[in-house]
Structure 1
Amino acid sequence: MIAIIADDLTGANDTGVQYKKNGYSTTVKIMNDNDVSSSMFKTSDVVVINTDTRPLSKKDAYDCVFKLAEKLNSVNNLEYIYKKVDSLMRGNPAPELEAILDSTDAEIAIVASAFPDNGRIVTDGTLLMPDNKHVDITNIFNTETKRKAVNVRLINVREGAESLKQYMEGQMENGADIFVFDTVSNEDLATISDAAMLIGKKKIFCGSAGLAKQLGRKKKAEQKYDGTVFIVVGSRNAATAHQVRMATETFKLPVVLVNSEEIIDGRYEKAVSESVEKAKEYYLNGNKVVIIAIDSLFEEYTVVLRATATENAKSLKVAESLGDIVKRLYEHIKPVTFVATGGDTAFQICNFLGSDGMELVDEIVPGVPIGILREGMADGSSMVTKSGGFGDEDTLVKVINYLMVNRK
């Protein structure tokens, strides 16, 4: 049994699906304190719990994860906890990892946040951001926790698992308990995983989907999809804008633009109802794939590691509107496969549909999993989730092709 703690829903899914591909039965749960017990694992080898703590303050995120990890620590036969962190280090990676270490009997943390399949690499303890900014990961863990974090250089990783294990044991003798690894390839992540397993101490794994990918052998899942595809875009990331453009040009897709200004200014019902009617019109005209996107998608936007409370409130309102639009559409149109871009968007779709999680099925492209919604009005419907910054320009094209090829 393995537990994964993630701070948003797309991250929960793109990490959990790595285990599913490795042959583990995997379920994603939206956090509910009452459900944290051994019973969570009755039908799944891996349970991924989305705490939705990315926008919280450091203290609130710490408190939430501490309580969750404390309960998980009492689950019998739990092999380890995997702390999923954002590959761009957004949110509260250090306080949340420290919360797990404080609330469990784990002695060390293995931090490998790189995701080479999506161009995220770490060298000299530093992450290179898409906009050419740098994030010193080792410094984050040293300054935002009370523990000693050390950077493990690529030269040490490349010496192999046994040598790396000995190097880490030497660092432990000098007081290190958080290891931040340089990583530029999947092979590096595999070596880190192998070395960690050789160390006879209880450990917390901490990374993005890249490290999870190395935890078993690939086992392809099979599933067929039918009905209408609604691609719901709540992310304003430039990568997503390029992906939407290519998808619309490739397949001549209709796009419903949701008026975010009306939603924020109090004309919520007008914006939502107009978007629902426009999407229904496209569906009735025979369109099998419809894109629903916020109208600010194509505006200039840069990556923000921590938004202000006002910005978070506005983003939440827009995300809620997208979930509401999906719910109203589902009352009239089914079967449906949903494609959600952005963690808040995916969360609100599940929230409005009354779903308590997803049973993961497959990974379409790196970082883009597909699963089956469980519970709620859309129980059994398929859903694809994608973080806003993930993927190449043709990622949505590949998602649509996958869904079309795998039709019943």
Structure 2
Amino acid sequence: MSEVLIIADDLTGALDSSVVFAERGLRTVVARRPADLAEALAAGAEVVAVNTGSREVPAETALALLDQVFEAAAAAKIPILFKKVDSRLKGHAAAETGRLARLSGRGTVVVAPALPSLGRVVRAGSLTGRGLPVPVDVAALFDGLPATIVVPDTACETDFAALTAWCTPETLFAGARSLAAALASHVAHSLLSPADGRVTRPPTLRLPMVMAVGSRDPITLEQLDRLTGRGDMAEIEAPDGRLPAEGWGDSALTLARMTQGGGGVDAAAAGAEFACRVCALVEARRPATLLACGGETADALLGRLGIGVLFPCGEAETGVPVSTVRLPGGRTLTLVTKSGGFGDPGTLLRLVEALQPVDKSSEDRLREDKGHG
């Protein structure tokens, strides 16, 4: 039986709020879209997350997607309901939380969007910190919901543990990764015992690896500056998403990065083109590991690859989830996702330096494919 349902408005949010449950030994699954939720629920995981993909769409569309999710999940009667919201309350955080409160009939909403690890805290009802030019009155933003609103002070990670006292079928939680982590510890303590033998270990990332970087966030660009120029890595630029069809070389480590092409192509079209061409690269390389940098990049790439369900298994670094996915045809792939604005200058470099030797099964498959060609 599923114990936790997480509803997020973007893929990276669905992953980084659910992977903290997987790290504590709980079986966890993520639906890439509402249409994939039935398959995710059928997996029998204790924790189910779904991405509505609604952060950038009009409010009416966002609420309709939420209705679709709740209709698919209502029969499961999952006791803990968590609305993942952005730690800067971007998107339709209040409207979506309000709709979910109405649909679920839960009388209390605990709103805790703080993320102290990134310098975002709530004190006296105000959300302040890094990336917030002015304080946000959280209670005022969520005013009008058909429930009692609780906005606790959350200035450090330990403040979130006390919020698990609200874990009842009458409570809707709305928050970011820090709240998810506290709930994960609470649920794991309640459900699991040492006798279960669920030992979690950091996931192993292996070569060959394809890195698809679609983000142009300054943080990602600084990370790429630290990474580029390696003699063991093939670097391919994709102006406006147009990755070349050949000339990729034979390196076990390949970096494909989207760049400005100067052609006036809008971001959505460039991203779709990039995802399409990276799929061809993945089919040719048959990597053991795929890294997708940028939430929109990851979502578009998974859509092109025909992947609707992901199984988070841990983190390569804090905030860098690792999942197992199954490609059409049955082959499994390790997927690493990183949001464009996450990490310090050395994040990508550390990921590459931690790669384990070539996965022989992938290497043999690639050799066989080339031989048959």
- TM-score, normalized by length of structure 2? 0.82
Native 8 Å contact 2:88 2:132 kept in 1? no
Report how far residue 12 of structure 1 moved.
1.0
2:304 is the alignment partner of 1:334: no
The number of aligned residues is 345
Aligned equivalent of 2:371: none
- C-alpha change, 1:180 and 1:375, in structure 2 (3 Å) is farther
Q: CA deviation at 1:403?
A: 3.1
Give the Å deviation of 1:246: 1.8
Instruction: Supply the distance in 2 between the matched residues of 1:338 and 1:365 (Cα, whole angstroms).
Output: 15
Rounded to whole Å, the distance in 2 between the matches of 1:406 and 1:183 is 44
Equivalent residue runs for 1:233-312 within 5 Å: 233-248=213-228, 253-260=233-240, 271-272=242-243, 274=244, 276-278=245-247, 280-281=248-249, 284=250, 286=251, 288-296=252-260
Contact 2:118 2:130 in 1 (8 A): no
Change (3 A) 1:19 1:66: same
Match of 2:145 among 144, 147, 167: 147
Distance 1:251 1:366 in 2: 28
| 1:59 matches 2:60 | yes
Aligned twin of 1:232? 212
Contact 2:313 2:323 in 1 (8 A): yes
Tell me how far apart the structure 2 counterparts of residues 251 and 131 of structure 1 sit (CA, whole Å).
Answer: 36
Does the 8 Å CA contact 1:355/1:378 hold for their aligned counterparts? no
**What do residues 243-267 of structure 1 show as CA deviations (whole Å, max 9, x unaligned)?**
222222678744322212xx6xxxx
The residue aligned with 1:3 is 5
Contact 1:62/1:98 (<8 A) preserved: no
Q: If the length of structure 1 is used for normalisation, what is the TM-score?
A: 0.76
Q: Which runs of 5+ in 2 are unaligned?
A: 190-198, 361-373
Q: CA deviation at 1:186?
A: 1.4
Structure 1, gaps ≥5 residues long: 149-175, 264-270, 300-310
Q: Does 1:211 align with 2:179?
A: yes
Equivalent position of 1:47 in the other structure: 48
Q: Give the secondary-structure state (helix, strand or coil) at the position aligned to 1:67.
A: helix
3-state DSSP of counterpart to 2:341: coil
Greater mean alpha carbon deviation, residues 209-218 or residues 56-65: 209-218
Residue 26 (str. 1) matches residue 6 (str. 2): no
AA of the residue aligned to 1:72:
A
Task: Note the aligned Cα RMSD (angstroms).
Answer: 3.0
The answer on whether the counterparts of 1:29 and 1:356 sit within 8 Å (CA) in structure 2 is: yes
Q: Which 10-residue stretch deviates more, 82-91 or 212-221?
A: 212-221
Residue aligning to 1:121: 121
- Partner SS, residue 332 of structure 2: coil
Identify if the C-alpha distance between structure 1 residues 401 and 125 changes in structure 2 by more than 3 Å, giving closer, same or farther: farther
The 5 Å alignment of 1:368-407 reads 368-376=320-328, 379-404=331-356
Letter aligned with residue 111 of structure 1: V
* 1:339 alignment partner, SS class: strand
* Superposition map of 1:163-178 within 5 A: 177-178=148-149
Match of 1:166 in 2: none
> 1 CA distance for matches of 2:258 and 2:123?
36
> Within the alignment, does 1:187 sit opposite 2:167 as a pair?
no
1:14 aligns with 2:12: no
Alignment correspondent of 2:298: 346
Q: C-alpha offsets along residues 245-295 of structure 1, whole Å, 9 cap, x if unaligned?
A: 2222678744322212xx6xxxxxxx23x2x424x22xx1x3x32222221
Task: Give the aligned partner of residue 364 of structure 2.
Answer: none
Name the CA shift for 1:337/1:185 in 2 (closer, same or farther; >3 Å): same
Offset at residue 322 of structure 1 (A): 2.3
**Alignment correspondent of 1:153:** none
SS of match in other structure, 1:59: helix
Offset at residue 210 of structure 1 (A):
1.5
| Residues 34 and 69 in structure 2, CA contact (< 8 A), matched pair in contact too | no
Instruction: Note if 1:196 corresponds to 2:194.
Output: no
Query: Shift of the alpha carbon at 1:131?
Result: 4.5
